[in-house]
Chain A
């Protein structure tokens, strides 16, 4: 499904300085029963965010009104675990368009790119700087510049560049998805398939 274009995002960020945040934390399996892509943001980080009786856990960052923004910052190895795209949907549906970490799990990263959420992988040192800047001032603004492939901490001017392949970058800038591309080469696929034994 096509998504909004991504170009330059300037926003404050929500810090989650925990490592190995897995997809079962991002969206627990019991919330995967929907047959449409709707409402997953309500259950983002469900069991860290709410008590069993449905009341908010006051110490969890999403429940702290001083933190807001369209950028989520997580610790190393963010998104490990299952292939559920629902995790990326939950991140998107909650309102995030960008996740920053020093390391991403592969499938989660792909899922994000396929739905228009930009995963920005930075060095461990830069990630520390990001967490420190938010700790100092929760309203710290960050600029995520996809055309230049840079992320900047506006208050300090500290900047780092990030990698993304040229194909995916063009897709995000234009709001295209992979199926649009594949549907344009079905003749080539059909020809390829005619030789396959399976």
Chain B
């Protein structure tokens, strides 16, 4: 009888080219995504070594981190950003890599376009110089972020050196409450584990909640794995996964599809396989979440108050520094706090389902006058769907405009910066000090919580507005 294996073990073990005694594994990489910010030094590295990209057909380049979200048809004004984009295009051309630059119909955030075009597939190893590469784990792939030295390794040899992480299974059982989205599930788990609770682990998400979840919802959850410290997170591929992948541009067809499907069906964790750590949560404990501090682990149910420092383990000084930055007090309720900006977008929540949720709540209402709203689709494909489904008309009617695709205010490398001291309810992934602009204060939340804030101008429980709609 063969040993019981986890999904993670099956995918990892099938990609080990060589195991180094007392050292890392040489891991073969099936898909490599590159963007303009973390790749130039890697390309420079292989040029300096006088070598080529070993398998250019396995690398895909898109521009997203450092691109404007208005007037993309015009030249990029900032000379440093323009240069970075030019470098990526030149490098892609020189080494024969597909490049979906600004204005290209397939352009968008790297972790949004990968799945959209079938680059992301079950059982694959996928890396990118971006920590939210964990997104692709939603398909049962091993996907994780790497540094620029590792980008260079993959360009040069299609491999990286990695010590195999420990395994953790996180089960969420039961059914989600009204108004609770995949983003809330992820923020809840991170609030329970802290931002380092899964460091050293690769996570598998299991249980009814994830089985019931859509592929886009699974992407949102896997995307946020890194925010609990995990290298990545993955979900066993099932019929939903296969339906999503089928028929996309880079998906296998014909006999290759049948062969792939047969393999993919063997991937789920064997019954009886063990994990280094296993945790179970109940879906009924989760309500819409919001963060109040300066890391994604500082999240609470929207109706509860900011915890007291003495109720938490460890660093009181760090905790108080964080609240001071936010200008919040221990014990404060989050509800009713005035906000200035709303950001809907990013690789976490920039897909069509996120726009549908946001639109469902603002429909028939008006954007609050004190709120500046940035609605940024994750890709041109998402942008097109927003228009085709009639969401844009509803959004416009409610006083919202749509921007062009990119990472935008998630990391504020471009001009989409929240000013110092201002509060933004954001559907993105990080609320670090200055993440959305120097001095900016970020409250992470779901598209529904963001929508409720956008129409009321303050932190509002979306369930109140949804009940009014359904009543």
B435 part of interface (Cβ distance < 8 Å): yes
* B223 sits at the interface (CB 8 A): no
On whether A106 and B199 interact (CB within 8 A), knowing A36-B41, A47-B434, A166-B22, the answer reads: yes
Q: Of B23, B31, B150, B434, which is within 8 A of A198 by CB? A: B31
CB of B167 within 8 Å of the partner chain:
no
Residues of B within 8 A of A142 (CB): none
| Given contact pairs A19-B318, A76-B315, A82-B130, A188 touches B18 in the complex (Cβ within 8 A) | yes
Among residues 161 to 183 in chain B, which have CB atoms less than 8 Å away from a CB atom of chain A?
Answer: 161, 163, 165
Nearest-CB residue, chain A, relative to B201: A106
User: Out of A24, A36, A188, which one reaches B432, CB within 8 Å?
Assistant: A24
User: Is B45 engaged at the interface, CB distance under 8 Å to the other chain?
Assistant: yes
In the complex, what's the smallest C-beta–C-beta distance from A188 to chain B, in angstroms?
6
A192 touches B413 (CB 8 A): no
Min CB–CB distance A133 → chain B (angstroms): 19
Question: Which chain A residue has the least Cβ–Cβ distance from B263?
Answer: A197
Asked if A30 meets B412 with Cβ closer than 8 Å, knowing A107-B131, A107-B145, the reply is: yes
CB of B163 within 8 A of CB of A165, answer: yes
Q: Which residues of A contact B279 (CB under 8 A)?
A: none
Partner among A30, A166, A196 whose Cβ is within 8 Å of the Cβ of B413? A30
Q: Which of B80-88, B347-355, B458-466 contacts A (4 or more CB under 8 A)?
A: B80-88
Query: When the two chains form their complex, are residues A186 and B54 in contact, meaning their CB atoms are under 8 A apart?
Result: yes
Q: B153 touching A182 by the CB < 8 A rule?
A: yes
Given A105-B196, A107-B146; A166-B23 close (CB under 8 Å): yes
Write the A186-198 contact mask toward B (1 if CB under 8 angstroms, else 0): 1011001100111
Chain B residues with Cβ under 8 A from A177's Cβ?
149
> Count of chain B residues with Cβ under 8 Å from any Cβ of A?
82
Q: Identify the stretch in A55-63, A109-117, A144-152, A153-161 within 8 Å (CB) of chain B at 4 or more residues.
A: A109-117
A168–B21 alpha-carbon span in the complex (Å): 11
- Complex formed: what's the CA distance from A186 to B28 in Å? 11
Task: Please measure, in the bound complex, the distance between the C-alpha atom of A84 and the C-alpha atom of B54, giving whole angstroms.
Answer: 23
Which of chain A's residues 1-60 have a Cβ closer than 8 Å to chain B? 1, 17-20, 22, 24-25, 28-30, 32-37, 47, 52
CB atoms of B147 and A77 under 8 A apart: no
Distance to closest chain A CB from B197 (angstroms):
10
Interfacial chain A residues near B158, Cβ < 8 Å: 189, 193
Q: A83-B130, A105-B199 are in contact. Are A178 and B81 (CB under 8 A)?
A: no
Chain A nearest CB, measured from B16 CB (Å) = 9
Alpha-carbon gap, A95 to B158, bound state (A): 32
**A178 touching B149 in the complex, CB below 8 Å, given contacts A18-B318, A35-B83, A52-B438:** yes
Q: Are B41 and A35 in contact (CB under 8 A)?
A: yes
Chain B contacts for A119, CB-based, 8 A: none
Does A96 belong to the interface (CB within 8 Å)?
no
The smallest beta-carbon distance between B344 and chain A, in angstroms, is 19
> What is the bound-complex CA distance between A198 and B41, given in angstroms?
27
A141 to B160, CA, bound (A): 36
Contact of B131 among A37, A82, A103, A185 (CB under 8 A): A82
Chain B, residues 219-249, CB within 8 Å of chain A (1/0): the string is 0000000100101000000000000000000
Chain B proximity of A183: nearest CB distance (Å) = 6
A29 near B411 with CB under 8 A, answer yes
Q: Is the CB of B295 within 8 A of A20?
A: yes
A114 to B252 alpha-carbon distance, docked (Å): 35
CA–CA, A167 and B22, complex, Å: 7
List 9 A-B pairs, minimum CB-CB distance, nearest first: A167-B23, A85-B147, A83-B145, A166-B22, A114-B149, A111-B147, A35-B40, A33-B80, A182-B157
**Interface residue ranges, B against A (CB under 8 Å):** 17-18, 20-24, 26, 28, 30-31, 37-38, 40-41, 44-45, 48-49, 51, 54-55, 58, 65-66, 78, 80-81, 83-84, 87, 121, 124, 129-131, 133, 145-150, 152-153, 156-161, 163, 165, 195-196, 199-200, 226, 229, 231, 252, 256, 259-260, 263, 295, 314-315, 317-318, 321, 411-413, 420, 430, 432-435, 438-439
List 10 interface pairs A-B (beta carbons < 8 Å), by A numbering: A1-B149, A20-B196, A24-B434, A32-B413, A47-B433, A85-B149, A106-B165, A115-B149, A165-B22, A185-B18
4 more A-B residue pairs beyond the given contacts A167-B161, A179-B153, with a C-beta to C-beta distance below 8 A: A32-B65, A82-B430, A182-B156, A197-B256
